[in-house]
Amino acid sequence: MIAGRVALVDPSSINLDVAALVNIRTNDHSSAWIESFRAAVARFPEIVETYRTSGDIDYTLKVMVPSIAAYDAFYKRLIDAVELYDVRTIFVMEEIKHTTALPLDYATG
C-alpha cells in the first residue's frame, strides 16, 4: 500500500509562489505524439503534476514557478518542446485545500 516516503516542502519557502493549472488540447492523438509529450513533460521540473483528462481538455498540468515572468519563460519552452493545438492557463489565486492524504474509508485491504 505504501508507495514511498517523502518530505513535504512549503513552496513559498523555496520561492515557488505561483501555481498554474495549464489546460492543453491537441489535434494529434497518435502514439508518437503521446510519447513526445510524455518525454517533454519529464524534462520540466516546473511541472509537478500531469493528467490526461476527459472532455474538451486533453491534458492538465500543475506548474509551480516563482513569478509570472518565470511562467512566461516556462510557457515558451513548453510550446517549443512539443506541438500543441491550444494552451490555456489558470493561475491559482488561493489554495483552499491541499492534501496528500487519501480517503482510506474505501480501502478494501
Q: How far apart are CA 15 and CA 10, in angstroms?
A: 9
What the block records as the C-alpha cell of 18 is 505561483
Distance of CA 71 to the CA centre of its chain: 12
CATH code assigned to 14-94:
3.30.70.920
* Confidence grade of residue 2 (pLDDT, cut at 50, 70, 90): confident
Q: How far apart are CA 56 and CA 50, in angstroms?
A: 16
* Confidence grade of residue 109 (pLDDT, cut at 50, 70, 90): low
Taking only the tens place, the pLDDT of each residue in 47-97 is 999 999 999 999 999 999 999 999 999 999 999 999 999 999 999 999 999
For the cut 90, the answer to whether the pLDDT of residue 46 exceeds it is yes
DSSP-assigned states of every residue in 80-109: HHS--SEEEEEE-S----------GGG---
Q: What is the pLDDT of residue 9?
A: 95
Q: What is the pTM of this model?
A: 0.92
Cβ–Cβ < 8 Å for 79, 73:
no
Q: How far apart are CA 35 and CA 30, in angstroms?
A: 9
The DSSP code for 18 is: E
Output Rg (C-alpha) for the chain, integer angstroms.
16
Q: How far apart are CA 70 and CA 56, in angstroms?
A: 27
